[in-house]
Amino acid sequence: MFKALLLEKDDAGFRAGLTTLDESRLPGWEQADVLVQPEYSTLNYKDALALTNKAPVVRTWPMVPGIDGAGTVLESRHPAWQPGDRFVHNGWGVGETHWGCLAERARLKGDWLVKLPAAFTPRQAMAIGTAGFTAMLCVLALERHGLQPGDGDVLVTGATGGVGSVAIALLSRLGHRVTAASGKPQEADYLKALGAAVVIDRAAGKPLQKERWAGVVDALGSHTLANALAQTRYGGVVAACGLAQGLDLPASVAPFILRGITLAGVDSVMAPRARRHEAWDRLARDLDPALLERMTSEVPLVEAPTVAERLISGQMRGRCVVRID
């Protein structure tokens, strides 16, 4: 038996709560070949949507949410994993179509797992989570385009969120001058402590504006992304990874054809293994543990649904670790 957050939806409505389940309820060995004990999970925006039923994230009911997990392998039928190995998991549709890691047990595919870097504890790995992993993928996208420190300011939107907070910490440590865009002016001190040189509002503007940014990390989409594109300098690059503000993009083609900018889409859910290993290796090298701790809060498993409501309503900042015990 193990404790888990269980999401149910039927004629009686939607329910999310902590319950006790038998291990036989886990996905079968034919679906996943490694049994793990998550020690920590986390709350990403997608987790919060699932826990609050504010968007159709969950595709199969009932569902144990939790797209991220870090802990210990208990049993394995995969050649790369042995009992006692330490793992990190991000994405792969877990918490959407496959039972996830907001539980004391999970059965996952060995091909989905990454060895826990020696630089991190399971708690630190979940303080990073999919949000921080995505931020690193965005930084790698900017670097593949050729962006270097000294090329010009880099804008980070949704700056107080998980992706934004980690992106600021990474970019500033790598030597970039970072401008943080946020709708929360009261969080300016927090953002500057992470490494932002300037904090601005995320107001919208014309389709083509004064050139300001050599690079952008955007986690919001919609009008904020359109505004960032309009302000990106000639030859610049915008890494887009989120849709917290909306799926739409009310933008013009002018920045692309008149300034030759690049819009690079960043996906963390199905990122190939080689890129995952590269991202986690870089996180171990480039992310300051002290800044990671500054942006991290912790809650027990039973409080995750309540915290999810706060995250959706914009009352959270940084990263939230969920303790599984």
Kindly state the average pLDDT of the residues 93-99. Answer: 95
Instruction: Please give the pLDDT value at position 204.
Output: 67
**185-194 pLDDT, tens per residue?**
899 999 999 9
- Could you tell me the pLDDT band of residue 325, with boundaries at 50, 70 and 90? confident
Section 9-29 average pLDDT? 93
pLDDT of residue 78: 97
Instruction: Return the residue matching tokens 């309009």.
Output: 230
CA distance 89 to 222: 29
* pLDDT tens profile 122-163: 999 999 999 999 999 999 999 999 999 999 999 999 999 999
Tell me: the pLDDT tens digits for 211-237?
Answer: 999 999 999 999 999 999 999 999 999
Q: Say what the pLDDT of residue 12 is.
A: 87
What are 23-36's pLDDT values in tens digits? 999 999 999 999 99
pLDDT digits (tens, 9 = 90+) for 240-250: 999 988 999 99
Six token digits for residue 262: 């690049």
Q: What does DSSP assign to residue 241?
A: -
Phi, psi torsion values for 272, nearest 5 degrees: -65, 160
- Distance set, CA 202 to CA 64, 72, 78 (Å): 35, 41, 47
**Domain ranges, ordered by start, for the chain:** 2-116+295-323, 130-265
Mean pLDDT in residue range 294-316: 93
User: Residues with Cβ < 8 Å from 313, sequence gap 6 or more?
Assistant: none
Determine what percent of the chain is predicted with pLDDT higher than 70.
Answer: 100
Q: What SS3 class is residue 243?
A: coil
Given a contact cutoff of 8 angstroms between Cβ atoms, the answer to whether 87 and 73 are in contact is yes
How much of the chain exceeds pLDDT 90, in percent?
91
Query: So what's the architecture of 2-116+295-323 in CATH?
Result: Alpha-Beta Complex (3.90)
Residue 301: strand, helix, or coil: helix
Amino acid 11: pLDDT: 87
The SS3 assignment for 103 reads strand
Mean pLDDT of 282-300: 96
pLDDT over 90 at 314, yes or no:
no
pLDDT at 205 over 80: no
Report the distance separating Cα 219 and Cα 321, nearest Å. Answer: 20
Residue 49 has pLDDT above 90, yes or no: yes
CB-CB neighbours of 79 under 10 Å = 8
CATH of 130-265, one of 3.40.50.720, 3.90.480.20, 3.30.565.10, 2.60.40.1510: 3.40.50.720
